[in-house]
Amino acid sequence: MKNRTIGMMLNAGQRIGIVLAEAFAQGKYKLDNLFISSKMYSQSLKTTLSDLQLKYLDLYLFHDPMCFVNNGEIFTKNEDGTFKLDPYQIHAIETWREIEKIKETGPAKRIGLSNFKVSLLNDLCSAAKYQPEVLMESNDLGFNSRKFDKNRKLEIAIKV
C-alpha cells in the first residue's frame, strides 16, 4: 500500500486530483491500494476532497493548533514576513471535536494530529471521544523522547 500525505498549502490539490483520476480510469491504481491523507489548514476538507476528486481520505490531520487569518490565501503574512494569526484563537479541543464528527460521518477514515506539544496532546487526549490515530512529526524521533513515550502509552502511531 502506498502512503502519501498531500499538503494542500502548495496548491497542488487540483493537479494531483487530475493525475489520480487518470490513473484510476486507466486502471494503473485502485483507490483501495492507496492511503491518502491531508492536513487541516484554512482549506476545508470539502475543498480538499473536491480538488483530489475523492469521496474520502484515509487520514485527516489537525495541523499546528493555531488560527491563521483567512482571506482566501492559505497563509497571509505580515509586512515583516511572519504569519498573520487571528486574534480569535479557536481552542484545540473544540476543533478536535469537529474533526471527530468528520470521522463519524465518513469523509475521513482516520483522524490524527500534526506538530502538537506534549501538554496540548495530553489535554486533547483526555477530552477526546476518539483518540488521535496518528501523530505526524517533522522532527527526528530522538529529538523529543518525551513525546515518543507519551504516544507509545496512548497507542498513537507516529509518522515522521
pLDDT in tens, 92-144: 788 888 889 989 998 999 999 887 777 788 888 889 999 999 888 765 545 45
For the chain, give the mean pLDDT: 76
Q: Does residue 13 surpass a pLDDT of 50?
A: yes
Number of domains present in the structure of the chain: 1
CATH number at residue 123: 3.20.20.100
**Which residues, 6 or more positions from 103, have their beta carbon under 8 angstroms from its beta carbon?**
60, 109, 110, 111, 130
> Residue 64 is part of which domain span?
2-159
Of the pLDDT bands very low, low, confident and very high (cuts 50, 70, 90), residue 1 is very low
Q: Supply the pLDDT for residue 82.
A: 77
- What does DSSP say about strands 134-136 and 34-40: parallel, antiparallel, or unpaired? unpaired
Largest pairwise CA distance in the chain = 49
Q: Supply the pLDDT for residue 25.
A: 92
pLDDT in tens, 77-95: 778 887 776 655 557 788 8
More confident residue, 91 or 20: 20
Contact 96, 135 (CB under 8 A): no
Q: Supply the pLDDT for residue 109.
A: 92
